[in-house]
Amino acid sequence: MSASIMYGDILAQKIRSNLKIVVNELKEENIIPSLTVVIVGDNPASKTYVKMKQKACEKIGIRSHVIELNSDISEEDLLNQVINLNEDDSVHGILVQLPLPDHINEKRILEYIEPTKDVDGFNPINIGRLSIGQDALIPCTPLGIMELLDFYGVSLRGKHAVVIGRSNIVGKPIGQLLLNKDATVTYCHSKTEALSSITKQADILIVAIGKAQFITKDHIKPGAVVIDVGNTFLSSGKVVGDVDYNEVKDHVSQITPVPKGVGPMTITMLLHNTIKAAKNFK
């Protein structure tokens, strides 16, 4: 049996064309949604992602601006940049690209982003609102995964969802969203013992660890649904996921590819969140 492939790029196009209509409607009210991305240093993967974000904004009429800062910028100077953006009424969405250089306290920076402009959903206020079920700006990757599961007809209620990875940007919030949809959620991480014995129980397996092709058939129950968040650039320039796609594809019922799976949905949800933030300005 061959798996059905959950293409994120197809769904992303569909959602983006709807978002374009919303942007045009906002323009009639003289609101042009605008996003500012702050990038520190010259990490090549970060640069690639930021370019993709800019291009996606442009395509649907969101105004985007990138602030490029030197890797030796001080924490105070970066904080001041964020404060200026918080105070600038022409900026609806602020995104500080991660990772930041080691000398900068990432949590402190994220805490300063005005929650209504926090299109990444990384500020403690938005994380708290998500966890108690209040309206919030929700992190883009988890939100995109939920859209994918819905579009491809994956039912969650009562199902066992296993999340591998507990980062603040992917693992933790996807578990929260799955729980809100009545899945039974288990988190695994680098200290988890007997990983495969747990992941093998998953009806839905979400993998966000950042280790190229780490997950094999031995980790997966036959017929499970697999969401591969991983994005590792090989020296050849090729990008691969955390799942050994070729090995597992005939073993699972549904799977996201890498590329063209979760990635395009992340960027689409950034557009969605920027529009949401712009609407809040009305």
Ligand X SMILES: Nc1nc(=O)c2c([nH]1)NC[C@@H]1CN(c3ccc(C(=O)N[C@@H](CCC(=O)O)C(=O)O)cc3)C=[N+]21
Catalytic: 13? no
C-beta separation of 139 from 110 below 8 A:
no
Footprint on this chain of ligand X (rule: CB under 6 A): 48-49, 52, 95-98, 120, 140, 231, 239, 258-261, 263-264, 266-267
Shorter beta-carbon distance to ligand X: residue 7 or 22? 7
Which is it for strands 254-255 and 4-5: parallel, antiparallel or unpaired? parallel
C-beta separation of 140 from 132 below 8 A:
no
Nearest distance from C-beta of residue 271 to ligand X, angstroms: 12
Cα(264)–Cα(15) distance, integer angstroms: 11
Catalytic: 53? yes
Catalytic: 201? no
Nearest distance from C-beta of residue 87 to ligand NDP, angstroms: 29
Q: Is 166 annotated as a binding residue?
A: yes
Cα(233)–Cα(231) distance, integer angstroms: 7
Q: Is 129 annotated as a binding residue?
A: no
- Under the criterion CB under 6 A, does residue 136 sit at the interface with ligand NDP? no
Tell me the per-residue interface mask from 167 to 186 with ligand NDP, x by CB under 6 A, - otherwise.
x-xxx---------------
Please name the residue that has the structure tokens 């013992």: 193
Cα(67)–Cα(209) distance, integer angstroms: 29
What's phi and psi for 67, nearest 5 deg? -105, 115
Applying CB under 6 A, which part among 9-17, 113-121, 260-268, 272-280 lies near ligand NDP? 260-268
Residue 167 interacts with, from ligand X, ligand NDP, none (CB under 5-8 Å by kind): ligand NDP
Residue from the set 13, 70, 190, 280 that interacts with ligand NDP by CB under 6 A:
190
Tell me the three state secondary structure of residue 21: helix
Q: CA angle at residue 245 from 252 to 269, to 5 degrees? A: 90
- Under the criterion CB under 6 A, does residue 165 sit at the interface with ligand NDP? yes
C-beta separation of 111 from 124 below 8 A:
yes
Cα(182)–Cα(176) distance, integer angstroms: 10
Shorter beta-carbon distance to ligand X: residue 96 or 177? 96
- Under the criterion CB under 6 A, does residue 199 sit at the interface with ligand NDP? no
Distances (CA, A) of 176 to 47, 85, 120, 187: 29, 29, 16, 10
Q: Is 108 annotated as a binding residue?
A: no
Nearest distance from C-beta of residue 48 to ligand NDP, angstroms: 11
**Catalytic-labelled residue, pool 81, 117, 120, 176:** 120
Cα(131)–Cα(146) distance, integer angstroms: 16
Cα(174)–Cα(250) distance, integer angstroms: 26
Shorter beta-carbon distance to ligand NDP: residue 115 or 261? 261
Catalytic residue numbers?
Answer: 53, 97, 120
Catalog residues that contact ligand NDP under the rule CB under 6 A.
141, 164-167, 169-171, 188-192, 195, 208-211, 229-232, 262-263, 266
